[in-house]
């Protein structure tokens, strides 16, 4: 009986103070969790728009009219536009994979990404009202973000611009080749027909 009463008392105390566990966390972790929650929801909603990799994106087992083919000159631009719109999430995932491979393959790029990821994490998890007095100037969080962004851009440009430009060029070329040689899926054609029908 004594054990049951103590257990019930502990349960009532936890229900009366549901924010106790959150409040005990460091402010930086609380802010990071609050900032990550909406981003995670947006990322999940974005990834749900991805098309099937086997049957649609790679045209494995699909019909002949939806497989890869060489387009006529007048068909090239409309085909690329339609495929970019239909496979936009798949193309974003492919670009991300290209970037990850480049980071893993080139150690210099891996070091830069690691260092600046830590710096950005430390800065973004600071309170928004943080202010630092530097001489006669009052530096806010926005100033720190602008400064770190400029330093980040300059360091990456001077130390890894060749690798980055090569990765961007190769990934964009792969995306454009797929969008140009892949026939527009029937679902994308139906979507375009519905949009054209809605227009006055």
Instruction: Kindly give the interhelix angle for 88-105 and 73-86, rounded to the nearest 10 degrees.
Output: 80
Q: How far apart are CA 76 and CA 145, in angstroms?
A: 42
Which pLDDT score, from 0 to 100, does residue 36 have?
Answer: 58
H or E, element range at 138:
strand 137-140
Residue 19 CA to chain centroid, in angstroms? 31
Per-residue pLDDT tens digits for 21-63:
444 545 545 555 555 566 677 767 767 778 888 778 888 776 6
Q: Which residues of the chain have pLDDT under 70?
A: 1-39, 43, 46, 62-66, 189-200
Nearest CA among 132, 97, 149, 128 for reference residue 28: 128
* Residue 188 near residue 83, CB atoms below 8 Å: yes
* Residue 119 near residue 199, CB atoms below 8 Å: no
Which pLDDT score, from 0 to 100, does residue 169 have?
Answer: 93
Q: Where are the beta strands (DSSP E) in the chain?
A: 131-134, 137-140
Q: What is the largest CA-CA distance in the chain?
A: 85
This prediction's pTM: 0.65
Cβ burial 148-166 (10 Å sphere, 16+ → b, else e)? beeeeeeebeeebeebbee
Which pLDDT score, from 0 to 100, does residue 193 have?
Answer: 59
CA angle 125, 130, 134 (to 5 degrees): 125
């Amino acid at each position: 009986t004594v054990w049951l009463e103590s257990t019930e008392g502990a349960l009532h105390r936890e229900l009366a103070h549901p924010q106790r566990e959150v409040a005990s966390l460091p402010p930086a972790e609380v802010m990071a969790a609050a900032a990550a929650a909406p981003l995670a929801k947006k990322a999940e909603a974005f990834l749900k728009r991805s098309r099937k990799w086997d049957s649609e994106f790679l045209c494995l087992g699909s019909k002949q009219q939806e497989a890869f083919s060489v387009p006529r000159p007048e068909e090239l631009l409309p085909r690329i536009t339609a495929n970019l719109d239909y496979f936009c999430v798949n193309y974003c995932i492919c670009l991300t994979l290209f970037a990850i491979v480049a980071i893993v393959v080139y150690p210099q790029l891996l070091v830069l990404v690691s260092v600046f990821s830590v710096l950005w994490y430390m800065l973004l998890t600071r309170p928004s009202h943080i202010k630092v007095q530097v001489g006669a100037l009052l530096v806010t969080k926005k100033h720190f973000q602008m400064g770190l962004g400029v330093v980040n851009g300059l360091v990456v440009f001077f130390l890894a611009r060749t690798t980055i430009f090569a990765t961007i060029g190769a990934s964009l070329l792969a995306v454009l080749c797929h969008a140009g040689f892949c026939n527009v899926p029937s679902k994308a054609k139906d979507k375009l027909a519905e949009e054209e029908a809605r227009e006055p």
